[in-house]
């Protein structure tokens, strides 16, 4: 999609600013022929997952756009001699995206997280951005037998953009598996985004985010689930990046 591509461990990442990313996403949300556009974010953890999961990696490689989320990707860029334009993460993007969709009279469907969570996000958007931006919501714990009903609800809502919060890589695999049947112009995987905007999980203070340590906050909040991802994962990620750099691979 962009000529500003940074390929990190075989994953092509858009090296663009938040504004450029919003422009790209907006262009994907117009009605078009063919399957829904797939748009994703990757952080250091995602790159680790992709190194071990070929199906996920191939989905990232063949999606319309993958955005550089977090300080780990910026650090990898520095190691590879590439200046990363921006921290294009879903959580910072969400209010901007809602405003943009509102300006363009497009609508968003929220799919994912525990029952009741997406409803709280819809309330937040209603209060902070305005009414009508969120076309519909559904939790992320539906059965395979309920898939048709979920897709019908998305279609009925008239949404242009679908945000899918099922965690990595489940959400990317899910989007790809139903891509041809998705009744929206574009779908994005957004991880834990709904948990933040519902207020279920407080987000790190701005100053901690500014210095690239949001991951420490998440580690403190959910140490049992996150210690492996961050304490071991960050080291594995840096080793992978250094190895790729030493090999002089084009990735």
Per CB under 6 A, residues contacting ligand UDP are: 112-114, 140-141, 165-168, 170, 191-192, 194-195
Write the DSSP symbol of residue 204.
P
Nearest approach in angstroms of CB 105 to ligand UDP is 28
Question: Which residue number has the CB closest to ligand UDP?
Answer: 140
Task: Give the C-alpha separation, 170 to 150, whole Å.
Answer: 17
Two structure tokens written together for 54: 């070929």
Nearest approach in angstroms of CB 248 to ligand UDP is 31
Which of residues 40 and 100 has its CB atom nearest to ligand UDP in the complex? 40
The answer for 248, left when phi > 0, alpha when psi is -120 to 50, beta otherwise, is left
Task: Give the C-alpha separation, 184 to 175, whole Å.
Answer: 11
Nearest approach in angstroms of CB 171 to ligand UDP is 7
Nearest approach in angstroms of CB 4 to ligand UDP is 24
Angstrom CA distances, 162 to 40, 53, 56, 243, 251, stand at: 12, 24, 19, 37, 30
Beta bridge partners of 40: 66
Q: Which residues contact 39 (CB under 8 A, 6 or more apart)?
A: 24, 25, 28, 63, 64, 65, 66, 67, 186, 187, 188, 189
Nearest approach in angstroms of CB 247 to ligand UDP is 29
């Amino acid at each position: 999609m962009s000529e500003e591509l940074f390929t990190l461990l075989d994953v092509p990442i858009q090296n663009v600013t938040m504004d450029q990313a919003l422009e790209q996403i907006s262009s994907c949300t117009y009605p078009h022929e063919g399957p829904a556009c797939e748009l994703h974010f990757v952080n250091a953890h995602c790159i680790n997952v992709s190194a071990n999961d070929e199906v996920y990696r191939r989905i990232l490689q063949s999606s319309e756009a993958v955005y550089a989320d977090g300080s780990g990707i910026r650090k990898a860029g520095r190691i590879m001699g590439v200046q990363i334009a921006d921290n294009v993460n879903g959580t910072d993007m969400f209010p901007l995206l809602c405003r943009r969709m509102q300006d363009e009279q497009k609508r968003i469907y929220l799919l994912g997280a525990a029952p009741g969570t997406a409803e709280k996000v819809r309330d937040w958007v209603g209060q902070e951005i305005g009414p009508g931006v969120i076309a519909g919501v559904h939790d992320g714990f539906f059965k395979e037998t309920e898939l048709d009903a979920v897709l019908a609800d998305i279609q009925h809502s008239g949404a242009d953009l679908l945000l899918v919060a099922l965690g990595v890589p489940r959400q990317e695999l899910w989007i790809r598996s139903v891509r041809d049947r998705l009744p929206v112009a574009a779908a994005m995987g957004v991880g834990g985004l709904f948990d933040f905007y519902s207020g279920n999980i407080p987000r790190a203070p701005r100053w901690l985010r500014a210095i690239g340590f949001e991951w420490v906050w998440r580690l403190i909040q959910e140490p049992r689930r996150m210690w492996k991802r961050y304490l071991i994962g960050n080291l594995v990620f840096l080793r992978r990046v250094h190895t790729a750099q030493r090999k002089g691979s084009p990735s």
